[in-house]
């Protein structure tokens, strides 16, 4: 184990090797990008895009910072509502000791508080914008009226307060919120405008699961960023960054670089959110230990799924239970791999979609005296599976990317769905309230795309004609579509109809969303 002085010296070494001005990505020419991508050499391009770091950021011995736990906000009771007050604000964050990084956050300098809600309660969220420009906050994964969704049709001007109000109609799960400003989502999330939402319900409460927030029930927001030598993490993507999605080379958890957390109970629960702009993480532990996945985007699985690897694309969440007994420290890491552990990511898909990045995210240090934990339940939640026979319509959605000189010069749309780029004044699909539909998702591009649907939690029927991976057999709002994939999902559109205000569907690589890979649907 390295001494703290040596670790800090390694941290200082990082800064000496970082570019002095804008990120080194801007030295990549259009000709270099086209030459390398045409040859399938995206790994070589990544070498140009991302400055190399010292061993500090990747070393198993470099976890010197206690993991920041976002404050939990359970709201305040006002009449028959639970009210939350959120302030979108500019700030300064010290990621590296002695260096001040301009950032944005919600009720803080970077990222936001964790809002905790209960199924069935009425909530009101007062969102004040003080950042000097228009933004939004979208409640990712929540089923609510389109006018309260926080997408690009609910902009919050600087100095204004937006107060959406709705009933929480969700099974217990881990959700999140983030900016969804039209053409600015990627920049605002990169700067820090995102946070976690935890929903509880009676079914989950009856299970003997870890639930002490920040102690044995730990929020884990995974991101990667690029830093300059002066500590800035400016958002200034190159054309290749827009084409492929902006990935960083410095991993962080809850806004903490090189973090560790002390585990005080035998079994801990990690609520993992991939909050990155573009990176897909192939997650496991450095000692190969297995763990139990208990939840997906929209709720608990029917039963725990034992594995040693999960793949999460941007926007996806997973809840896992980890047995920390044994006494040794171990690390949650994202591993470079040719496959996704059964979820279908091929070598080229993994490399081009950010999956080639290797990161050591979080060191877990078991306490010398661990509290006993209950046995992991054999049964978790009841899922009401939708019947394919009840589907009244099947809709195709094809994710596409254009290549070539016109794209690289920014003269034509590079990212489309069904041949069209996003237009705010165009409704792409109309769904009847109460209908059950199958959406068939395809990908003709050379890289994977996480497809996210607002309003509903869907269920995956098949991936390339086969039953989905066990870790995908739950409620989902985001699904990774690999090159050449055909993924069929089913959803029921209920409770809320609004012919004038649309919901979104889009790729959750945020640069792709901003570049046009997004569409709109209304429920009538």
Model pTM above 0.85: yes
pLDDT tens profile 297-313: 999 999 999 999 999 99
pLDDT of 488: 98
Angstrom distance (rounded) from CA 464 to CA 486: 5
CB 362 within 8 A of CB 220: yes
Residue 475: is its pLDDT beyond 50?
yes
Task: Tell which residue, 236, 240, 114, 253, has the closest CA to residue 186.
Answer: 236
Please state, in angstroms and rounded to a whole number, the distance separating the CA atoms of residues 418 and 408: 21
Higher model confidence: residue 14 or residue 255?
255
Which position has the token pair 């394919």?
A: 388
The answer to whether the CB of 144 falls within 8 A of the CB of 166 is: yes
Q: What is the pLDDT of residue 63?
A: 87
Lowest mean pLDDT among 23-32, 111-120, 414-423, 511-520: 23-32
- Mean pLDDT, the chain, as a whole number? 87
On the question of pLDDT at 8 being above 60, the answer is no
Angle value at C-alpha 262, between 258 and 268, nearest 5 degrees: 110
Gap between the Cα atoms of 192 and 179, Å rounded: 9
Residues 342 and 444: their CA atoms lie apart, in Å, by 21
Compute CA distances 307 → 95, 131, 291, 473, 501, whole Å. Answer: 33, 43, 6, 14, 42
* Domain locations along the chain: 388-523
Phi, psi (degrees; rounded to nearest 5) at 164: -65, 150
407: confidence class by pLDDT, cuts 50, 70, 90: low
**pLDDT tens track for 236-276:** 999 889 999 999 999 999 999 999 999 999 999 999 999 99
**pLDDT-based confidence at 414, cuts 50/70/90?**
confident
pLDDT at 114 over 90: yes
CB atoms within 10 A of CB 437: 21
Average pLDDT over residues 427-434: 98
Q: How confident is the model at residue 351 (pLDDT cuts 50, 70, 90)?
A: very low
Diameter of the chain by CA atoms? 65
More confident residue, 28 or 323: 323
Weakest-pLDDT range from 8-22, 105-119, 129-143, 205-219:
8-22
Residue 432 is predicted with a pLDDT of 98
The domain 388-523 is classified under which CATH number: 3.40.50.970, 3.40.800.20, 2.60.40.1110, 2.60.40.420? 2.60.40.420
DSSP character string of 72-109: EE--EEETTEEEEEEEEEEEEE-SSTT--EEEEEESSS
pLDDT tier for residue 2 given thresholds of 50, 70 and 90 = very low
């Amino acid at each position: 184990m390295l001494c703290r002085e040596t670790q800090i010296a390694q941290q200082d070494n990082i800064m000496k090797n970082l570019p002095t001005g804008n990120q080194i990505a801007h030295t990549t020419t259009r000709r270099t990008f086209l030459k390398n991508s045409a040859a399938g050499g995206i790994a070589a391009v990544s070498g140009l895009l991302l400055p190399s770091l010292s061993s500090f950021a990747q070393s198993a011995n470099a976890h010197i910072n206690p993991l920041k736990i976002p404050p939990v906000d359970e709201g305040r009771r006002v009449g028959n509502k639970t009210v939350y007050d959120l302030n979108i604000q500019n700030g300064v964050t010290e990621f590296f000791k002695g260096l001040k990084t301009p950032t944005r956050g919600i009720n803080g300098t970077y990222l936001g508080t964790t809002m905790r809600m209960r199924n069935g309660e009425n909530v009101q969220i007062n969102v004040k914008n003080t950042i000097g420009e228009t933004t939004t906050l979208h409640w990712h994964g929540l089923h609510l009226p389109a006018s309260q969704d926080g997408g690009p049709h609910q902009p919050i001007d600087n100095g204004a307060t937006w107060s959406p109000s709705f009933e929480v109609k969700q099974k217990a799960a881990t959700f999140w919120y983030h900016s969804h400003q039209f053409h600015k989502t990627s920049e605002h999330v990169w700067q820090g405008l995102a946070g976690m939402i935890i929903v509880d319900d009676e079914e989950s409460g009856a299970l003997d699961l870890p639930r002490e927030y920040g102690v044995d029930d730990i929020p884990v927001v995974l991101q990667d960023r690029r830093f300059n030598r002066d500590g800035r993490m400016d958002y200034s993507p190159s054309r290749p960054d827009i084409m492929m999605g902006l990935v960083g080379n410095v991993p962080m958890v809850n806004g903490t670089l090189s973090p560790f957390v002390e585990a005080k109970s035998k079994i801990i629960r990690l609520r993992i959110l991939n909050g990155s702009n573009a990176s897909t993480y192939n997650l496991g532990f450095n000692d190969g230990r297995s763990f139990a996945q208990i939840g997906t985007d929209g709720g608990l699985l029917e039963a725990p799924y034992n594995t040693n690897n999960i793949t999460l694309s941007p926007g996806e969440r997973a809840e896992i239970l980890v047995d920390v007994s044994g006494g040794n420290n171990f690390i949650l890491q994202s591993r470079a791999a040719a496959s996704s552990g059964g979820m279908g990511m091929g070598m080229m898909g993994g490399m081009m979609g950010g999956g080639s990045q290797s990161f050591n995210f979080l060191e877990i240090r078991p306490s010398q005296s661990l509290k006993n934990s209950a046995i992991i339940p054999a049964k978790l939640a009841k899922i009401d599976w939708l019947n394919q026979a009840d589907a009244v319509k099947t809709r195709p959605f094809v994710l596409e990317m254009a290549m070539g000189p016109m794209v690289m010069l920014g003269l034509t749309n590079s990212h489309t769905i069904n041949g069209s780029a996003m237009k705010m004044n165009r409704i792409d699909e109309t769904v009847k309230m109460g209908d059950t539909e199958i959406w068939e998702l395809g990908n003709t591009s050379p890289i994977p795309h996480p497809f996210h649907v607002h309003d509903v939690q869907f269920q995956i029927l098949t991936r390339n004609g086969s039953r989905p991976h066990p870790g995908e057999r739950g409620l989902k709002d985001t699904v990774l579509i690999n090159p050449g994939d055909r993924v069929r999902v089913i959803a029921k559109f209920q409770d809320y109809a609004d012919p004038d205000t649309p919901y979104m569907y889009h790729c959750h690589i945020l640069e792709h969303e901003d570049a046009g890979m997004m569409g709109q649907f209304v429920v009538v």
